[in-house]
Amino acid sequence: MSLLTIILNILLPPLAVFMQHGLGTTFLISVVLTIIGWLPGVIHAFIVNS
């Protein structure tokens, strides 16, 4: 995992997921979790991008 990915996982989780996996179910889950709360979005982004 690059430094850019780690920073994006923390600041903009959906963007980090989009950069690794593109548009799809994983991206939509990341958006929903980030809207619900920032921390669930960050946790999901780290799990998906690890």
Contact 46, 11 (CB under 8 A): no
The pTM score is 0.89
Distance CA 5, CA 21 (A): 12
Tally of domains in the chain:
1
| Category of 2 on φ-ψ map: left (φ > 0), alpha (ψ -120 to 50) or beta | beta
Q: Directed axis angle between helix 3-11 and helix 13-21, to 10°?
A: 130
Structural domain span for residue 27: 3-49
**Predicted confidence (pLDDT) per residue in 9-42, tens digit:** 999 999 999 999 999 999 999 999 999 999 999 9
